Amino acid sequence: MSHRLWKPIKNIINKMNKLEKHKRESHHMLKNRMLKAILQNKKNSVVRDNLDNMFNEFNIQLKPDIPIALILFKIDNFAVIKKINIMIKTEKYSNLPL
């Protein structure tokens, strides 16, 4: 195919790829906002009747009528734990015979 014909097709494909990427990023952002509003119990942002529809739209495998428990773990000094883990791995592999 000649370059003259291929260039417009390539431009269209690039634009479609950019639009798809933007759609994915927007979808992820909207999903996070919705979940955050639910967790923060903002009454005006999420209407209970619409939860089923919203969960289906964002492919969330939760049922609004079934109670769930949310557990959040916060690791103090995560950077220190990460360094220790790296040191342990380094030591583990440094003892291997050459």
Following DSSP, what letter does each residue of 26-57 receive, concatenated? HHHHHHHHHHHHHHTT-TTT--GGGHHHHHHH
Give yes or no for a contact between 79 and 52, defined as CB atoms under 8 angstroms apart. Answer: no
The span from the CA of 56 to the CA of 60, in Å, is: 6
Give the model's pLDDT for residue 45.
Answer: 56
The span from the CA of 34 to the CA of 41, in Å, is: 10
Give yes or no for a contact between 51 and 66, defined as CB atoms under 8 angstroms apart. Answer: no
Give the model's pLDDT for residue 64.
Answer: 75
Give the model's pLDDT for residue 62.
Answer: 79
Give the model's pLDDT for residue 29.
Answer: 87
The pTM of this model reads 0.47
Enumerate residue ranges in the chain where pLDDT < 50: none
Structure tokens given for 15: 């634009």
Give the model's pLDDT for residue 9.
Answer: 86
